[in-house]
Amino acid sequence: MIVRADAERTSTAFGMLDLRIQRWIWTEKWSVLRDAQERAIPALVGCDRDVLIAAATAAGKTEAAFFPILTHLLADTRDTGLCIYISPIKALINDQFMRLERLCEQLELPVWPWHGDISSSSKNRFFKQPSGVVLITPESLEAMLCNRGFQAPQLFAKLRYIVVDELHAFIGTERGKQLQSLMQRMELAVGRKVMRVGLSATLGDLGMAAEFLRVRGGSAVEVINSNSDPVRLQLEIKGYVEPSHLLAEQQDAPAITTSFIVQDLFDTLCGSNNLVFPNTRGLVEEYAHALGRLCEQQRVTNEFWPHHGNLSRDIREETEAALKNKALHATAICTNTLELGIDVGAVKSIAQIGSPPSVASMRQRLGRSGRRPGEPAILRGYVTEQALAKDSTLDIQLRTGLFTFAAMVSLLEEKWVEPPQTNGLHFSTLIQQLLSLIAQRGGVQAGDAYRTLCVQGPFPALGKPDFLDMLRHLGKLELIQQEASGVLLHGTKGERIVNHYSFYAAFAAEEEYRVVCDSRVLGSLPISSSVSIGDYIVFAGKTWRVETIDEEGKTILVSKTSTGKAPVFTGGKGQLHAKIRERMRELYRGTGVPHFLDAAAVLLLQEGRDSYARCRLDQRVMLSMGSNIYLLTWLGDKQNEALAAVLRKAGLSVSASGPAIEIFAKETGEQRIAHCLRAFASQPPPDAQQLLAGVFNLRREKWDWALPEHLLKKSYASLQMDVAGAHAWAQQYAAASQEQDH
DNA sequence: GACCTGCTGCGGGATG
């Protein structure tokens, strides 16, 4: 057997694996182990350290983790161990289950897929024999701890490893804090350390990711960073100019440039598989509909399929099947539903309409193309700018849309991605974890809860007095109550909430209407998107008339029509990192032309540079235009948000706007703004409580409504602002303006 | 001018 000889000759790690796993690798005809696998096996097989594996999407990360883990679980022949694998999405659990079960069948090791769609009979069988591999979501794990807390020590008695897949998808989120807390609670239940394994393809900073995996112990995590062969990139940004007079006259008509972009997509993408990312669900609908119509007009089979989170599973699977079907050419118009885990096979190119939300996201998207040996990863960018007019805003004059996109692409080429955002406090999730801990243990001492969740857990930023404040507030809201003995229990309201299944998710979800046509569910629309009877809408790439709206049953009935308009989906704003603004400024100051711009985009680049020079933005920080003053910091959105709060507190009417802060009412005067900035710089940075005094409407996360005011402000500020960064900038500004005065 | 993710236990009734 040649295959066997190859594997043995080139690999020492191979010999460390259980013989049955070696045999399985031979029968699968794998000639060599991948780099990540080769290095992960010795790191994991001894079960004596935490490991972070960073490797490209198709580099066999799952096997890299499971070959040595299964080997370790099988080593004790009398008592097979347990491994818990945690995934952010159900579809990934289903995928991994199919891959893993083929192997584990041979090993006589049970694999337990575990999420909301799995029957309780399978789950009950696990409770009788808790060993093997459990593939689970954080929410299902939360439910297990909540409802079977007393059994936790027995259930996890044999737990050896916790594997977290798509680690980057958790970092910096409510679910991430929840996950860290769950891992901590499992370890406490069994009274010992359990080895943690993180898997990811898109990590901006491995040290921070390691620290996320093991709070206060990141430096001891073994990091395996496997860069497989770098893929050749083929990048292009095409520029388009929207005639402004037409836009003003016909508000409702689709923009002229949209139809140019649609035509270009049609011409370049037909005949191959591609993904198109227009950034919003509404635009996914618009483009899918427009491309479908174009196919109809040209009398060719439609090759364009919509995909986003509000479409029914049914419709999403149609799109996924079209992409996987080798007999068809298919292009998906999608949101980041197709950015994560689900396997849709290799695609030829990615089209990005408008700049992406982050460089990390653009890289993840691009990772979907160029997966076959020798093929490049192709990114086609499209940027629309409005025609220049006398009254054009600064934004339009500077062509910030093009410069943002170009800066991001140039950073992508340098392999830079945003570092993970780990300083969010997420006190909302602390409340959830406290209530869940009470459920798990049937009551908990306040000091014990503080130690578990804050001192040793993922919420170390909360001091003891603040924690007690929070408990008192939760008591007032009847979420918790304290027994005479000091034990914390659920209050009447807390009891009701914890006993409903909606408790297990750490993140908030908006209520939605189901959209139904002839008893087929097409998907859902958020309650907030205003839709009335008789409206014509675009949904799932087709047009419909709204027939009835059932408020009780939360259902919208529609029928087919021939015209319609994409519905409005609401949402927050992305946060641009300061590094991108820095790169934009270098582009304005430079004279070179990035190789990835087409002729029209180069013209826009020149127009932007002309405006930058004309406004003398290299020398000045403030610029009066129309009735406003712009404070051009060129900082990231979080720093600008903090500066805007500082100015707002001084009584100015302001709004953070791209690379600048816009100050309304020119009569304010540049002097007054300069004075505010110097005053801010001369004092130590204010805390959130001072900065957000008198500011309302700060609730963003699921349990924010139950936080005492000052903790809500602290949590909000940690997520939305960088006060220290803003302060550092103000100090630089103050020093520079002093020099000018002398 | 943002996007996405997730969900138990129990009881009643039908079916094999």
Question: How many Å from the CA of A122 to C1' of B9?
Answer: 15
Question: What pLDDT sits at residue A142?
Answer: 98
Helices A400-413 + A578-589 axis angle, to 10:
110
- Tokens coding A692: 């957000």
Query: Which pLDDT band holds residue A571 (cuts at 50, 70, 90)?
Result: low
Q: Which residues contact A701 (CB under 8 A, 6 or more apart)?
A: A174, A426, A428, A429, A507, A508, A715
Whether any strand B atom is under 7 angstroms from the Cβ of A696: the reply reads no
Please tell me the distance from the alpha carbon of residue A51 to that of residue A739, in angstroms, as a whole number. Answer: 51
Q: Which nucleotide has the shortest C1'-to-CA distance from A140?
A: B7
- Count of helices and strands (H, E) across chain A: 28, 25
Which residues of A spanning 283-342 put their CB closer than 7 angstroms to strand B?
308-310, 335-337, 340
Please tell me the distance from the alpha carbon of residue A125 to that of residue A147, in angstroms, as a whole number. Answer: 16
Please tell me the distance from the alpha carbon of residue A239 to that of residue A225, in angstroms, as a whole number. Answer: 37
Question: What pLDDT sits at residue A2?
Answer: 40
Question: How many Å from the CA of A135 to C1' of B8?
Answer: 18
Report CA-CA distances (Å) from A325 to A229, A303, A335, A465, A507.
Answer: 28, 12, 21, 60, 35
Q: Which nucleotide has the shortest C1'-to-CA distance from A143?
A: B8
Question: What pLDDT sits at residue A742?
Answer: 63
Q: What is the CA radius of gyration of chain A?
A: 28
Residue A119: strand, helix, or coil = coil
Question: How many Å from the CA of A529 to C1' of B13?
Answer: 39
Question: How many Å from the CA of A120 to C1' of B11?
Answer: 14
Which residues of A spanning 573-592 put their CB closer than 7 angstroms to strand B?
573-575
Please write the tens of the pLDDT for every residue from A393-439: 899 999 999 999 999 999 999 989 899 888 999 999 999 999 999 99
User: What is the pTM (predicted TM-score) of this model?
Assistant: 0.91
Please give the single-letter amino acid code of residue A159: L
Whether any strand B atom is under 7 angstroms from the Cβ of A147: the reply reads yes
Please tell me the distance from the alpha carbon of residue A727 to that of residue A321, in angstroms, as a whole number. Answer: 52
Order of strands, edge to edge, in the sheet holding A82-86?
A: A111-114, A132-136, A82-86, A159-164, A195-200, A51-55, A222-226
- Tokens coding A37: 């696998």
Residue A444 half-sphere exposure toward CB, CA atoms < 13 A: 22
Which residues of A spanning 393-452 put their CB closer than 7 angstroms to strand B?
400-401, 404
Residue A371 has pLDDT above 80, yes or no: no
Question: How many Å from the CA of A535 to C1' of B2?
Answer: 25
Question: What pLDDT sits at residue A595?
Answer: 97
3-state secondary structure A268-318: HHCCCCEEEECCCHHHHHHHHHHHHHHHHHCCCCCCEEEECCCECHHHHHH
Please tell me the distance from the alpha carbon of residue A504 to that of residue A142, in angstroms, as a whole number. Answer: 6
Strands (DSSP E) found in A314-416: 331-334, 349-353, 377-386
Percentage of chain A beyond pLDDT 70 is 95
- Tokens coding A311: 């479409």
Report CA-CA distances (Å) from A233 to A343, A369, A519, A734.
Answer: 21, 10, 46, 43
Q: Which residues contact A740 (CB under 8 A, 6 or more apart)?
A: none
Q: Which residues contact A24 (CB under 8 A, 6 or more apart)?
A: A103, A106
Whether any strand B atom is under 7 angstroms from the Cβ of A175: the reply reads yes
Question: What pLDDT sits at residue A220?
Answer: 97
Order of strands, edge to edge, in the sheet holding A520-526?
A: A520-526, A512-517, A555-560, A542-550, A536-539
Nearest CA-CA partner of A348 in A322, A376, A373, A324: A376
Please write the tens of the pLDDT for every residue from A585-604: 999 999 999 999 999 999 99
Please tell me the distance from the alpha carbon of residue A592 to that of residue A223, in angstroms, as a whole number. Answer: 38
Residue A258 half-sphere exposure toward CB, CA atoms < 13 A: 16
Q: Are A597 and A239 within 8 A, CB to CB?
A: yes
Q: Are A194 and A162 within 8 A, CB to CB?
A: yes
Tell me what the mean pLDDT of segment A624-640 comes to: 93
Please write the tens of the pLDDT for every residue from A76-131: 878 899 999 999 988 889 889 998 999 999 999 999 999 998 989 999 999 999 99
Helices A637-649 + A670-682 axis angle, to 10:
100
Mean pLDDT value across chain A:
91
Query: Which pLDDT band holds residue A493 (cuts at 50, 70, 90)?
Result: very high
Percentage of chain A beyond pLDDT 90 is 69
Please write the tens of the pLDDT for every residue from A514-532: 898 988 889 888 887 778 8
Dihedral, CA of residue A187, residue A191, residue A193 and residue A198, to nearest 10? -10
* DSSP 3-state percent helix, strand, coil across chain A (nearest 5): 45, 20, 35
Please write the tens of the pLDDT for every residue from A613-628: 999 999 999 999 888 8
Q: Which nucleotides of strand B lie within 7 A of protein CB?
A: 1-10
Question: What pLDDT sits at residue A4?
Answer: 45
Please write the tens of the pLDDT for every residue from A438-482: 999 999 999 999 999 999 999 999 999 999 999 999 999 999 999
Q: Is A16 exposed, middle or buried (0-12, 13-18, 19+ CB in 10 A)?
A: middle
Please tell me the distance from the alpha carbon of residue A498 to that of residue A46, in angstroms, as a whole number. Answer: 39
Strand-pair category, A654-657 with A660-664 = antiparallel
For the range A616-622, what are the long-range contacts, defined as Cβ-Cβ under 8 Å and sequence gap of 24 or more?
A: A617/A588, A618/A589, A621/A733, A622/A670, A622/A673, A622/A674
Q: Which nucleotide has the shortest C1'-to-CA distance from A502?
A: B7
Whether any strand B atom is under 7 angstroms from the Cβ of A728: the reply reads no
Which H or E run contains A238?
A: strand A233-242
Q: Which nucleotide has the shortest C1'-to-CA distance from A334?
A: B3
* DSSP at A241: E
Residue A568 has pLDDT above 80, yes or no: no
Query: Which pLDDT band holds residue A1 (cuts at 50, 70, 90)?
Result: very low
Strands (DSSP E) found in A7-56: 51-55
Question: What pLDDT sits at residue A259?
Answer: 85
Q: Which nucleotide has the shortest C1'-to-CA distance from A573?
A: B2
Which H or E run contains A92?
A: helix A90-107
Question: How many Å from the CA of A117 to C1' of B7?
Answer: 10
The residue whose CA lies nearest the C1' of nucleotide B3 is A336
Please tell me the distance from the alpha carbon of residue A577 to that of residue A561, in angstroms, as a whole number. Answer: 43
Please write the tens of the pLDDT for every residue from A136-153: 999 999 999 999 999 999
Strand-pair category, A487-490 with A512-517 = unpaired
Question: How many Å from the CA of A444 to C1' of B3?
Answer: 37
Q: Which residues contact A704 (CB under 8 A, 6 or more apart)?
A: A428, A698, A712, A715, A716
Q: Which nucleotide has the shortest C1'-to-CA distance from A570?
A: B2
Query: Which pLDDT band holds residue A339 (cuts at 50, 70, 90)?
Result: confident
Please write the tens of the pLDDT for every residue from A643-671: 999 999 999 999 998 899 999 877 778 99
- Tokens coding A18: 């259980």
Residue A257 has pLDDT above 80, yes or no: no
